[in-house]
Each structure stands twice: as C-alpha cells, then as structure tokens.
C-alpha cells in the first residue's frame, strides 16, 4: 500500500512534492555509505509517492564521491522524469515542479521539458503560473548560498521564469522563511516572480542571515518562527499569500495564538505590463 494512503491527512489534502537533498537516500542507518560505493538514489521517494509523471523514472547508480560527508550532492545526479519533475493544473493555476538535483543545464532533458511546458501554458485558461523547486534561486541566508543548485538556477532558470511571467517560485532547503518583492535579475521589478523560501515548517528555524542589512529585494525574512504558507487565488488578477505561525516558538514551546507572520496581496504580473520598476510600486502589492 502506498505510504500516503495510510495517512488521514494525505487522504483529504492534495499533496505535491519536490525532490530534496534528503530524498536522495545517501544514508544507511544514520551514516553515509562507504565513499567508494554507488547507491540507487531516490528509491523511497519514487516508490512511496505517485506524482503525475511525464514518463517512468530514469535513475542510475550514483557514486558517493559526488556527495559530501553530510550527504549533500556536489553536482547533478542521474535522475530524470518520474517524481523528479512534472506539472499539473489546478483550477486557474499551472504548477511546474522542478528537480534541483537533476540537470537543468541547457540541452538537458529537464531543461528541454521545462521549455516545452512554459511555451504550452495558455494563460487565458490558467492565468497563474507557479514553480516549485527545492533549492531557492534567491536567498537572504548564508547557508547553502554558494551551492551550484542555487547559483546555476539563477543563471539558467531565472531568464525563463521572467520571460514567461512566472508568478511565484516557491522553494525550501533553507530552514527559515523569506519572501521577496516581485523581482528580476537581483532587482525589484513588478513583472518578475515573487520568490518564497518556505523552509520553516519543521526541524529547526535558525539559519544565519547572509547580511545584517536586508537586501533591497527582500520583503520579509525570518529565522526564528515555525510556520506554513497559504496561497489563495481569488481570480485571474489577484492572489493572497499568508505565512501562518504554527504555535511553537524557536525553543519548541507551544504558543496558542496562530498569528500571521506575513500577509500580502499580489497582483498577477501579467497585468502590470505598463508599470515601471518604481512607479506606483505600492499598487502592485
């Protein structure tokens, strides 16, 4: 029986997943395998979840020489299709789920598939375009910021996201929270995506900031509160994003008030074509 069918929560709530570094299965009994071994990556991830696959997965044994001693990959892994990357439509939104750890360099299978998906989206039918990916393209936090899965995504994927007017890029990986203004190429731009790091749902929330001064493209950042995000699409032009506190502080103590840590209206970037970067900025938020 599939793992998700045993969970009452998952039986009632649609759940779409994105491949993370801990899903690569480079650990055995809490310790990394012998560095000279090769392992079958994402074994549990493929067998326990059933996403809307493009085609069956292609997975090859991965040498552990391509991983750090903590199990973090140092380069892309041999994993295509399956649960690695896929897309689905939900109401007025098209969702594209990407793999941070499968190659997305130009000419790769994932890159070619992504191009095809972006070109095929009919925004008159699905006016909202949302990308989910484990590693963020932008981060205000020091942890992971120099990994190629972030730096190369910014160089290779961001131009596509801007060209095809992606509305939201939702990521995790970093155990903290961040939301940017609509932005493009490291500057605030009302036609660019809103980047969200929703990594404060569990484990710990303690990532150090990269800079003490908040970057000009960061709207909200937090390294101390647990929470979860909620995106509501009200119509083709307006959406609301909320970050809701779970009720536990950084020390694990329960606090009964489920306060909003962040709340923002977002106008669909498709409909702000005539707006400059600075003019009428508040009208887009």
Show which residues are catalytic.
144
Q: Which residues of 26-46 are buried (b: 16+ CB within 10 A; e: fewer)?
A: beeeeebbeeeeebebbeebb
How many beta carbons lie within 10 A of that of residue 210, not counting itself? 12
Q: Nearest 5°: CA angle at 230, between 229 and 234?
A: 155
Nearest 5°: the CA angle 98, 84, 222 is 50
DSSP, res 106: T
d(CA 25, CA 236): 40
- Give dist(CA 80, CA 67) in Å, integer: 18
Q: Are 66 and 74 in contact (CB under 8 A)?
A: yes
Coil, strand or helix at 116: helix
Tokens found for residue 126: 């699905």
Nearest alpha carbon to residue 131 among 231, 264, 235: 231
Structure-token pair, residue 41: 């990556």
């Amino acid at each position: 029986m599939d793992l998700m069918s045993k969970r009452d929560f998952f039986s009632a709530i649609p759940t779409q997943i994105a491949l993370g570094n801990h899903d690569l299965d480079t650990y055995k009994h809490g310790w990394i395998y012998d560095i000279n071994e090769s392992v079958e990556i994402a074994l549990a991830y493929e067998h326990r979840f059933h996403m809307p696959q493009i085609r069956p997965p292609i997975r090859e044994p991965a040498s552990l020489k391509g991983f750090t001693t903590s199990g973090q990959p140092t380069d892309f892994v041999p994993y295509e299709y399956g649960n690695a990357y896929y897309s689905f439509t939900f109401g007025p939104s098209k969702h594209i789920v990407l793999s941070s750890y499968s190659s997305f360099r130009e000419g790769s299978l994932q890159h070619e598939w992504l191009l095809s998906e972006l070109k095929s989206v009919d925004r008159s039918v699905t006016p909202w375009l949302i990308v989910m990916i484990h590693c963020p393209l932008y981060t205000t936090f020091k942890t992971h910021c120099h990994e190629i899965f972030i730096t190369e995504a910014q160089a290779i994927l961001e131009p596509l996201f801007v060209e095809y007017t992606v509305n939201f890029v939702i990521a995790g990986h970093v155990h903290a929270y961040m939301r940017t203004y609509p932005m493009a190429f490291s500057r605030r731009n009302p036609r660019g995506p809103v980047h969200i790091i929703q990594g404060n749902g569990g484990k710990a929330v303690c990532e150090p900031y990269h800079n003490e001064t908040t970057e000009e493209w960061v709207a909200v950042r937090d390294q101390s509160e647990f929470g979860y995000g909620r995106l509501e699409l009200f119509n083709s032009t307006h959406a609301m994003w909320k970050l809701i506190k779970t009720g536990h502080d950084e020390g694990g103590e329960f606090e009964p008030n489920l306060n909003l840590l962040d709340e923002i209206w977002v106008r669909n970037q498709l409909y702000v074509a005539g707006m400059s970067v600075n003019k009428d900025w508040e009208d887009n938020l």
